[in-house]
Amino acid sequence: MNAAIRAVTRKAIHEGFQVFGIERGYLGLIQEAIFPLQARDVGGIITQGGTMLKTARYPEFQDEALQENAYQILKRYGIDHLIVIGGDGSMRGAQGLSRHGMSTMTIPCTIDNDMGGTQYTIGFDTALNTVVDAVGHIRDTSNSHERVAIVEVMGRKAGHIALQSGIACGAEIVLVPENPMPLHEVCRHLKETQLRGKEYSVILVAEGAYKSGEVKEFIKNHTEFDPSLTVLGYLQRGGGPSAFDAILAARMSEVCINTLMSGVDNRLIGYIDGHIRTISYKEAEKLQFPINEEQYTLLSILSS
Ligand code: F6P
């Protein structure tokens, strides 16, 4: 997120805009936590995870009256365009504000990669790299102790983090919410792999697929394995951005400001087949990129 804040701020200033930062998203907007941002204010943040503007969950912002209030606040501050950096809830907030007359743009930023209109969200690649690195460490112990390792990863209702990191780290089994393998099937698979000479296995559980504690108990009760369980949790949300994410943030921010200057607004910035494109909020909702079932098959072939 910081990489995007920096890129939006500097590109906008370069083009002659005055920039304001808003702390804690829509909550901060309602509380008027609004302050001018200069190019130097975003110095040194590109390699830092998180967001210098802080963030807050604020589901109340679905309320039409709050959105109108926010719109009036933005007008009072003389703000012509609002650039929202966030996930699908943030995009819905931007969509709401645009219905009240605000000019908005959304830059997709969530580790979950679960937004329509884009194949990549900023933060996803960084989270993947973190998971792959962590599983590598866990695998060393699993291998030495000949133990099954269960690793729970984030992703909300989507299996993107689990599937992609599973392919990258060579997990034996990946449980995703889109198509969760039944647990008795998991046990059968583990027994089979043991018969084939595998001394240990890594199982990635997407948080939306199963409660990882229940997976551990089920395996323990239905096989002779006693799996270890690691919940990666907030480890996945921290750390500086991967080069891919930092470059994505720079490219999306550039397109965002250029689009506003061309007189077009109320759009999501998307990454589609290597290109940065803009897409209306309505179209973005319809253009979903769910997990690729073929990659799920590939993973099981490669983990034989
Ligand atoms: O959306 C990003 C995310 O990290 C999800 O993967 C996860 O479910 C959620 O946020 C956790 O957020 P919180 O700590 O607010 O529950």
C-alpha 112 to ligand 1 mean position (Å): 8
Kindly calculate the radius of gyration of the chain based on its CA atoms and give it in whole angstroms.
Answer: 22
Q: Which domain holds residue 224?
A: 127-238
Q: Is the CB of 159 under 6 A from ligand 1?
A: no
Establish if 258 belongs to a structural domain: yes
Q: Same domain, yes or no, for 216 and 252?
A: no
State the sign of the Cα–Cα–Cα–Cα dihedral 155, 158, 160, 165. positive
Q: Provide the mean pLDDT of the chain.
A: 97
Per-residue pLDDT tens for 67-92? 999 999 999 999 999 999 999 999 99
Q: Same domain, yes or no, for 87 and 10?
A: yes
Establish if 9 belongs to a structural domain: yes
Instruction: Give the count of domains, the chain.
Output: 2
Q: Same domain, yes or no, for 24 and 158?
A: no
Q: Same domain, yes or no, for 107 and 1?
A: yes
Q: Same domain, yes or no, for 61 and 14?
A: yes
Give per-residue burial for 275-292: e unless 16+ CB within 10 Å, then b.
Answer: ebebbbbeebbebebebe
C-alpha 271 to ligand 1 mean position (Å): 22
41 is catalytic: no
Percent of the chain with pLDDT over 70: 100
Establish if 294 belongs to a structural domain: no
Q: What is the mean pLDDT of residues 232-252?
A: 98
C-alpha 81 to ligand 1 mean position (Å): 28
Per-residue pLDDT tens for 132-176? 999 999 999 999 999 999 999 999 999 999 999 999 999 999 999
Residue 16 in this model has a pLDDT that exceeds 90: yes
Establish if 292 belongs to a structural domain: no
State the sign of the Cα–Cα–Cα–Cα dihedral 251, 132, 231, 158. positive
Instruction: Pick the residue whose CA is nearest to atom 10 on ligand 1.
Output: 156
| pLDDT on residue 199 | 86
Instruction: Pick the residue whose CA is nearest to atom 15 on ligand 1.
Output: 57
Q: Is the CB of 156 under 6 A from ligand 1?
A: yes
Per-residue pLDDT tens for 165-202? 999 999 999 999 999 999 999 999 999 999 999 889 99
Q: Locate 147 and state its tokens.
A: 């133990």
C-alpha 143 to ligand 1 mean position (Å): 30
Question: Which CATH number does the domain housing residue 59 bear?
Answer: 3.40.50.450
Proportion of the chain in helix, strand, coil states, percent, rounded to 5: 50, 15, 35
Q: Which residue has the tokens 């506003």?
A: 260
| pLDDT on residue 49 | 96
CA distance 126 to 248: 11
Q: What is the mean pLDDT of residues 41-45?
A: 98
Q: Same domain, yes or no, for 149 and 199?
A: yes
| pLDDT on residue 304 | 80
Q: Is the CB of 237 under 6 A from ligand 1?
A: yes
Instruction: Pick the residue whose CA is nearest to atom 9 on ligand 1.
Output: 156
Tell me which of 88, 112, 125, 265 is the catalytic residue.
Answer: 112
| pLDDT on residue 80 | 98
Establish if 103 belongs to a structural domain: yes
Q: Same domain, yes or no, for 2 and 96?
A: yes
Q: Is the CB of 267 under 6 A from ligand 1?
A: no
Triad 53, 55, 59: Cα angle to 5°: 145
The beta-strand segments (E) located in the chain are: 19-22, 34-37, 81-86, 103-108, 149-153, 173-175, 202-206, 228-231, 267-272, 275-280
Q: Same domain, yes or no, for 144 and 227?
A: yes
Q: Same domain, yes or no, for 269 and 232?
A: no
Q: Same domain, yes or no, for 49 and 159?
A: no
Q: Locate 99 and state its tokens.
A: 């219905």
Kindly report the pTM of this predicted structure: 0.97
